[in-house]
Amino acid sequence: MAKVEIYTKSTCPYCVRALQLLATKGVAHDNIVVDQGGPKKEEMIQRAKGRTSVPQIFIGDRHIGGCDDLMALESRGKLDALLAA
């Protein structure tokens, strides 16, 4: 299974939604909390090509985007293939 990393904030409903989808699928993931900003948030912004919103989701080396992007992959039936890679 591909490595999944998700940058989140604890009060973000979109983060919760994305995490719930991953949990429903039984996907192990690294949850990187950026509530306080700092080096991890800067890392997220750099990896996400300047995007500052959360969540920012990465599957393997691929930047997926945010919650809506993750949900769109799921609704098109493409998420499982990315996770399996």
Over the stretch 25-71, which tens digit does the pLDDT of each residue have?
999 999 999 999 999 999 999 999 999 999 999 999 999 999 999 99
- The pLDDT value recorded for residue 2 is 94
Angstrom CA distances, 54 to 26, 76, 82, stand at 21, 22, 20
Does the pLDDT value for residue 1 go beyond 90? no
The bridge status of strand 30-33 relative to strand 56-59 is unpaired
Q: Which fold has domain 4-84?
A: Glutaredoxin (3.40.30)
- The pLDDT value recorded for residue 9 is 97
Q: How confident is the model at residue 85 (pLDDT cuts 50, 70, 90)?
A: confident
